[in-house]
Each structure stands twice: as structure tokens, then as C-alpha cells.
Amino acid sequence: TPLTAVALDAEMRTLTGIGELDRVLGGGLVDGSVVLIGGDPGIGKSTLLLQMLGTLGAQIPSVYVTGEESLAQVASRAQRLDLPLGPLHALAETCIERIIEQALSSRPRVLVIDSIQTIWTELLAAAPGSVSQVRESAAKLTRFAKETGTSVFLVGHVTKEGGIAGPRVLEHMVDAVLYFEGESGSRFRVLRAFKNRFGAVNELGVFAMSEKGLREVPNPSAIFLSAHSGPTSGSAVMVTREGTRPLLVEVQA
């Protein structure tokens, strides 16, 4: 096909209702995009995506597929986060063929898979979580997203070495790779884009974990500065730029 014959429509974006997530995604959700979110277990990946579906649920249909928790656990978490349960739809399933069959009948605009390591396909005899199972399942989900225009989020756990568990090939198959990071013992979390076909890769989203889930931190400079009343020896404030946002950081020596 000659590229002159291709319709160059600007990609339609849907705001997730979480400003820091929209910033890292490049301005919102793109129809048919596949986003991989990696991070250590317990860092808040499931919480962030459930909150996103809670804000999106009233506008567009979505399905949260859980392969690690029961539906009762997902419902109790949503209740704890004060999310409206009415628009939230969940599916407890790990077989990719049944997930896609269900998605084709319910036609969600957003599909969350938590996590890709638990998903398996009937075509392969390998154990769930193996390289071949994860790769084949992700390939089927990517094909489904492109054919139907569904936005798909894949949750991936991070190994001790810091890479996403399973094959590195996942990072090549998806449209965006986001890492969710946080210091142990700190309530602050940083969402960083390592690859994004629809936006900049140096954008940062900053969140604070609270009893009611993740809260946005629109002014991260306030975190990085000490409240000194006067000049302090060995301390200087510098300005650094992350993506489109300048940050003030205190450097101590």
C-alpha cells in the first residue's frame, strides 16, 4: 500500500481521570494500544489499574481479568479504595482463549490482564509462566487489541535482577512499557515510561500511597525539598527537568 493512501488520522485519546498516568502515557489512552506495566510485587500496580477502571467505568466499558486473586478479593479491594462497584466488571480466568472469547462477547474498550505471568494458552503444553506461554499469550492479546481497537494493559512482575519476569520479547511486542518504582519504606511511587510509541519516554508520574489507594502528587518538588528556614551548610537546591516538568531537588553533601 502506498503510504499516501493511508489515512493519517490523529489517534483518538481517552483521559483515564488520573492526571499523572495520562502524563506518562503521552496524553491519555490510545485505542488499540498495548501497555505493559512492570514493578515489584506489592508496589501498587493492581491498585493503580483498578483505580483507573473505577474512574473510566462510568464512561467506557472495561474488564479487569484477574489470574492471581479471587473475585471476592478484587471486590474487597475496590470497596476499600471507595470505588463505585457498579461499573466495574471482573473476570477470574487464566486461559487466554476463554478470556478473548469473553472479551469478544462483552466488547470492552479497556482490558486489564493481572498478571501476564499467570496466563496460558491451550496450544502449548508448557507450564504457565514459562517463556513460550507468556510470549504466545501476549501475542494473542496484542492481535486482539489491534483488530478490535481495545486498549490492553498487561501487568508484569519484576525479577530480582530488575527485568520483567518472562521474556524480554514482551517489551518489543507492546506499544508502551511503564515501570512502577518505589523505595522500600517510602510511601512515594514513581511511574516511568521506558518505551512509548505514543508519547515521550522521559515523562515521570509521581504518586503517594495512602489508605484509600494512590494519590497523585502534582507538585513533586515539595517532596524533594527540606523545610529549612535559612541557608544550610552543605545543602543546595538544583533544578532538573524530567520530561515536560521541571523539578526542584535538594542536593546534600
Q: Is residue 144 part of a domain?
A: yes
148, 252: one domain: no
The pLDDT-based confidence of 164 (bands split at 50, 70, 90) is low
Q: What is the CATH number of the domain that holds 76?
A: 3.40.50.300
Q: Is residue 136 part of a domain?
A: yes
Query: DSSP 3-state assignment of 32?
Result: coil
Sheet of 176-181, strands arranged across? 90-92, 62-66, 110-114, 151-157, 34-39, 176-181, 188-196, 204-210, 213-216
For 62-94, give one letter per residue: b (16+ CB within 10 A) or e.
bbbbbbbeeeeebeebbeebebeeebbebbebb
Tell which wins on pLDDT, 168 or 134: 134
pLDDT beyond 70 at 162: no
The Cα–Cα gap between 93 and 120 comes to 10
160, 239: one domain: no
Taking CA atoms, 79 is separated from 43, 121, 200, 240, 244, in Å, by 19, 32, 34, 39, 35
The pLDDT-based confidence of 53 (bands split at 50, 70, 90) is very high
Q: Is residue 71 part of a domain?
A: yes
pLDDT beyond 80 at 159: no
Q: Is residue 2 part of a domain?
A: no
pLDDT mean over 58-69? 93
Task: Give me the amino acid identity at 200.
Answer: A
Task: Give me the amino acid identity at 40.
Answer: D
Tell which wins on pLDDT, 159 or 209: 209
Domains identified in the chain, total number = 2
Helices (H), 57-167: 71-80, 96-106, 131-148
Per-state percent for the chain, helix, strand, coil, to nearest 5: 30, 30, 40
The Cα–Cα gap between 39 and 27 comes to 22
pTM of the full structure: 0.90
69, 155: one domain: yes
- 59-63, 163-167, 193-197: least confident range: 163-167
Query: Cell match 501487568: residue?
Result: 155
Q: Give the residue numbers spanning the domain of 243.
A: 220-253
